[in-house]
Amino acid sequence: MEIRECRAEDVAMLEKAMPSPGLSRYHEARYRRQAERRSTYLVAWHEVADPCRFLVKRLG
């Protein structure tokens, strides 16, 4: 299993594998928070399973 920060090119794949509810663009919003250095959006990849994702918020 590989765990790393989400990259811009991961957002579309995450949306396809785990669609956002309604028009929320959940993954895009999480990635934007990371780009603004307000959090870290982690993605876990495994060759035989769907990707997983985690949001780590920065406090302070």
Centroid of chain to Cα 56: 10
Predicted local distance difference test score (pLDDT) of residue 34: 93
Give the model's pLDDT for residue 57: 67
| pLDDT of res. 52 | 66
Please state, in angstroms and rounded to a whole number, the distance separating the CA atoms of residues 60 and 58: 7
Residue 46 confidence (pLDDT):
73
Higher pLDDT, 16 or 60: 16
For the stretch 5-54, pLDDT in tens is 999 999 998 888 888 888 889 899 999 999 999 999 988 877 765 666 66
So what's the pLDDT on residue 11?
93
